Copies of this chain bind each other. A is one copy, B any other.
Amino acid sequence: MAFLIAILVGTGLLMLPVSRAEPGGAPLVTALFTATSAVCVTGLIVQDTPTYWSAFGQSVILALFQVGGFGIMTGATLLGLLVTRRLKLTRRLIAQAETKSLSLGDVAAVLRLIFLVTVAVELLTTAVLTLRLRYGYDYDWSDALWHALFHAVSAFNNAGFSTYSDSLIGFALDPLMLAPIMASVVIGGLGFPVLHELRQNMRHPARWSVHTKITLLGTAFLLIAALAATAAYEWNNPATLGAFDWTGKLLNAASHSVMARTAGFNSVNIGEMHVETLAVTYVLMFIGGGSAGTAGGIKVTTFFLLGFVVWAEIRGQPDSNAFRRRIGSHPQRQALAIVLLSVACVGAGVLILLSVTSFPLEDVMFEVISAFATVGLSTGITGGLPPTGQLVIIVLMFIGRVGTITIASALALQERNVLFRYPEERPIVG
């Protein structure tokens, strides 16, 4: 609900003439699209951010994705806390009624911690970027600060909005610009539960929870695999990595591997990539980042959890284990439900968008996965979508952002008493 209100307020503000660079207010669909994209920290745009919106409009967008990102982090963390707490309590057979609420102290503590982490990371990134823009590019201080702040907030919240028309393509060969943004993106994308545990137990990896271990190792694995695949497929593509020397190729392959998983900045032109790279990027975008963070997608834990389950099945082990812990049947079924419902959403989105536009399949698939997993990358078709197509993307962004978290928590929280069980029967599978 809070999301809807933020989107509607944002739409109203963006429709004001003062938000737009040219005279006259933005049309409803454009404002709605931009506000939804900002609040859901997606980053897809139908109008170029720096030229279409005024400084006020850009500030509104900045505020929207900061509010959206903070809301997602706190909301998902609190729901997660409710879920895990509840689980512990029901195990101890404490009355159900007590477990459905969190104490005010818990809520305040979580809000404070998330606020502090957000401010700390964003300020640090802003400072580094400001210095770089001031001394590397001769911006004056206020310009440098504005661009740095916008990108720092956008990066930590994985929003992907940029004050440059070509996103980060202008900085493709500048590691001093890309590295702080990439670091900020990765930290924001890990999710608060992992950050919290890292802060408490940094020195004792053995004590980390399975959730943290899967998220960290899974993220590292995905980053390296994506870097290798991007480099391999694009190494000699003159429109993307081919133009750089080998350090530039590696830097930008790394940048794509970080950004494609949910951030949505780009330092190379996505529209010029080979279709093989796009296919790899579909998978990366669909998986997304860590739970209860600003990342989208089905989440790293969901993906690898199902991987552990399949691995156990192949090995013929009755239990599905990960890092010497058993994965219960309930999280398994939950992960399965999330993945299949997500596939269904993406499939329906692709089919509808194909019906109302005439773009090729690879671009439509890219756009739909990017919207659903709130990534924000595009092969360049967003601006050319008809209003119906824009509405489809708006709905996908909203479902992808709010739907997965809400459904996941709802699935985890609900529990019914078993009045009777049916006898088991074994259909032939496969």
Contacts and interface: CB of A to CB of B under 8 A. Distances in A.
Contact of A276 (B210, B330, B333, B355): B355
Contacts of A338: 429-430
Contacts of A335: 429-430
Nearest to A362: B361
A412 interface: yes
A356 to B, nearest CB: 10
Given A327-B427, A332-B333, A405-B430, A415 B316 contact: yes
A54 interface: no
Contacts of A316: 411, 414-416
A381 interface: no
A313 interface: yes
A168 interface: no
A350 to B, nearest CB: 6
A421 interface: yes
Given A283-B347, A319-B421, A428-B291, A336 B362 contact: no
A360 interface: yes
A427 B337 contact: no
B337 A314 contact: yes
Nearest to A312: B333
A310 B336 contact: yes
Contacts of A329: 329
A193 interface: yes
A286 to B, nearest CB: 11
Interface in A319-363: 319-322, 324-338, 340-341, 347, 350-351, 354-355, 360-362
Contacts of A320: 333
Nearest to A81: B428
Interface string A412-430: 1011101001111111111
How many residues of A sit at the interface, in one of the four size bands?
Answer: 35 or more
Contacts of A279: 347, 350-351, 354, 361
A375 interface: no
B428 A336 contact: no
Interface in A173-194: 191, 193
A52 to B, nearest CB: 31
A360 B306 CA distance: 31
Contacts of A347: 279, 283
A428 B80 contact: yes
A100 B347 CA distance: 42
Given A302-B430, A315-B416, A329-B329, 14 more contacts: A80-B428, A84-B426, A193-B428, A209-B427, A210-B425, A210-B427, A211-B428, A279-B351, A279-B361, A299-B428, A310-B337, A310-B340, A313-B333, A327-B425
